[in-house]
Structure 1
């Protein structure tokens, strides 16, 4: 969205640089570049009663005037016969957008003026975002409720095609296939890997890129995006602001390259990259023990969380944490300072040299002695240990409202002891009401590394990005801005902050 002065707001039809804002396209029609939208003035709209063909009406406009937000404009071009053709995403409902076209013949054919006007329209529509992205599309036909392929063809592919994206589509065939594809990907051929899936395929893609000899370069160069087709769609919720496939496709088309922290999780002799979360206790069990309820969609997380809160189970562990911000006031201050900075309009990171692998582990692995200065503290009445890299974990679960994509920290939540049933239910409701951060029994910190050792349990659940891993000690450390995503803002999540 283009910012404007007070004068811009009063007069949305001002000229833009040396290109006239208005293009005459007929005796009774014109196309005008407004402040935030393309203004279509056409007397014929009265006869068609608008027909919903050109988006939403401007406040106070007549029936002859319609507007198309610049964010919804997918492509524009001129034809040899003097026709101006504009493709845009039209909202069918609050959760569905479909490509539509408007086209007009120029009143006085002037190809140079029309082409300049179209270029200015595209500049306003895309801003700093790359046009005609080269996208490797991975479709998981098994994810969520098994509708990934259908969702892609019905809601996503038409948006990409209308935006003139260059597509290479591949179906994932088995667990771990995303790792294999990313590990052998030609990173000079694609700008984006877009995953039509839940959060599992992005996890695989980042770990596949991380296995390469040029891991650092690959993770920087290729953006990873999610098009929500699974039961867990956190990546899309956080960066696209939606779990609607068509609206997410539009957000990816217009997405800005944005750095994202990744975390290394070491367990046994394994090193895994995590983009979403690590959990032990109630959240891990909620996620992993409700696999049989996938038919419920994202509601299975809410249901599972509530059931386990009421059971008042504890998950004892010894924990050592490298804390960067140790109280809620400090966390709130750093969040507000970072989120108030201007959006990053370009990727200003230096591309790592060819052959640069993953960054070395500053704190060693879980198999090494406890790092100097760390102290293992017993948590015998631990109800939940949940470290997150993103704000939203599911549509109604903004667990980490102070999370930032590139602050070099994980946000950590700990709840000590069991909660009375009424308090447990109010805790769950507080998440949906965006009041979770302020609950006095919720400990919220920003950390850069930690070690956790479960104890007094024969077996249990540990979740890394929603995937179950062995029930044994693990250690985590954050790598600041190691990966790249596409986001609407360019610097923060699409979530209500603190």
Structure 2
């Protein structure tokens, strides 16, 4: 409910709690939940909102949800409440209300205000110290404008300490974050697409105390690019203003990160890895970028109808390969847990980056891995999050910190009819159950491309060399801010 939500008085109702309609319309000024302000106006702490009576029209109560409240304080005989007003279904804007507080009520007003902030923030940290990295090239050059117009006012109203900086070249965020004082900030927020979060994680990974840094600083995402998967998964929105509110109220959440070894390099992945049709559709359609999001659908269909195959050898460390067991695993992992509970469940606690249990791509395969030829592979897609775009829940059983990647493999010689069904299944969330889709929970895998010298491999949407690579998951190595504190913002399994 926004401040414009109205409750009209009706017949007398049972009394007892401040959340009952009768008590809201006829508040008891002696109650600790009710504050008398201004001229015959009352503010009441209800079950999920502050309710205002008397300021506008008699018999009408208006409310501000606790979740939307950014800050409240008593100063110079006035109480001020700043909040994010839901102006559309997807956007919020900064608003505030001010009321005169009688001198004899000032002490009560200060106590009432603290109770309000307790209800507004719950377990979320107040006054976060946020380092913001703005990609001025993101969102067709509109990221900076979005930040200063829609995001910064919300952070400032919530009394966050803000330090904003623009990135000027590819890899700049890595350089900034590698040198950052991890004790100076609680959050690093990317105002960009998914590319800057990728750089932030890898900047933290370059520190001598990388493990500590990745646990200490939470990474957050303000969606201002062409790919905003991180925000859709953690914030449940592609709106910059609503994501700002989600960050203000965000809960610290451990996040699995994936080590990628290729050649002599080791990098971290937070979102996905792809080889085959998804990688080629994502990275090989820049020449038709003018088509917008439609270029992905077009590129996908062209390759599906062409029955394109991407031969490779694949070795996998499988933890679960039965779809019903994977669903049960997801349901069990979706139960609410606190940050401390999750940290006690054997998550990463190393000072530096954790050692590689399975070695690198250059080492012999672990004894319990078998290299299997895949001559007709159409797509290999490994996900650490559920949504890859706003409407593509490729990995509905993905969890933030279960210590597994969700690995999908699909043959490239499927019928055109099945290919079209798959494209539609991605949109409606039924891809997981299609018999042609092989789904496994894995902790590591190695891909060795074959029979072609050039091609595409995508790590978090970034192109890497077309050569063998190995992936290994580290449970809870990273930290992010999420709305729930324990799961992704998906609709769950179909």
What aligned pairs does 1:37-56 form with structure 2 within 5 A after superposition?
A: 37-45=49-57
Report the Cα offset of residue 278 of structure 1: 0.6
Deviations 1:9-61 (A, max 9, x none): 9737699xx98111111443111111111111124247xxxxxxxxxxxxxxx
2:305 pairs with 1:310? yes
Q: 1:75 aligns with which of 71, 76, 93?
A: 71
Match of 1:28 in 2: 40
TM-score by length of 1: 0.90
Distance change (3 Å), C-alpha of 1:297 and 1:229 = farther
Match of 1:409 in 2: 404
Deviations 1:58-94 (A, max 9, x none): xxxx5x211111111011001122x110000011212
Note if contact 2:18-2:33 (Cα within 8 Å) is conserved in structure 1: no
Separation in structure 2 between the aligned mates of residue 300 and residue 384 of structure 1, nearest angstrom: 18
For structure 2, the 5+ residue unaligned runs are: 2-15
2:329 pairs with 1:334? yes
2:200 pairs with 1:191? no
Match of 1:53 in 2: none
For structure 1, the 5+ residue unaligned runs are: 2-6, 47-61
Note if contact 1:298-1:395 (Cα within 8 Å) is conserved in structure 2: no
Note if contact 1:409-1:478 (Cα within 8 Å) is conserved in structure 2: yes
CA RMSD of aligned residues (A): 2.3
Q: 1:432 aligns with which of 427, 431, 444?
A: 427
Note if contact 1:335-1:403 (Cα within 8 Å) is conserved in structure 2: yes
Separation in structure 2 between the aligned mates of residue 19 and residue 493 of structure 1, nearest angstrom: 39
Note if contact 1:145-1:295 (Cα within 8 Å) is conserved in structure 2: no
2:445 pairs with 1:450? yes
Q: Helix, strand or coil: the match of 1:44?
A: coil
Match of 1:225 in 2: 220
2:1 pairs with 1:11? no
Q: Helix, strand or coil: the match of 1:128?
A: coil
TM-score by length of 2: 0.91
Q: Helix, strand or coil: the match of 2:392?
A: coil
Separation in structure 2 between the aligned mates of residue 344 and residue 185 of structure 1, nearest angstrom: 24
Match of 1:65 in 2: 61
Match of 1:92 in 2: 87
Report the Cα offset of residue 162 of structure 1: 1.2
Q: 1:168 aligns with which of 163, 174, 179?
A: 163
Distance change (3 Å), C-alpha of 1:71 and 1:306 = farther
Match of 1:51 in 2: none
Report the Cα offset of residue 161 of structure 1: 1.2
Note if contact 1:128-1:346 (Cα within 8 Å) is conserved in structure 2: no
Match of 1:54 in 2: none
Separation in structure 2 between the aligned mates of residue 347 and residue 440 of structure 1, nearest angstrom: 34
Match of 1:419 in 2: 414
Match of 1:119 in 2: 114
2:125 pairs with 1:130? yes
Note if contact 1:19-1:116 (Cα within 8 Å) is conserved in structure 2: no
Note if contact 1:23-1:32 (Cα within 8 Å) is conserved in structure 2: yes
Q: 2:467 aligns with which of 464, 469, 472?
A: 472
Report the Cα offset of residue 474 of structure 1: 0.5
2:225 pairs with 1:213? no
Q: Helix, strand or coil: the match of 2:398?
A: coil
Range 146-155 or range 472-481, more displaced: 146-155
Separation in structure 2 between the aligned mates of residue 88 and residue 351 of structure 1, nearest angstrom: 36
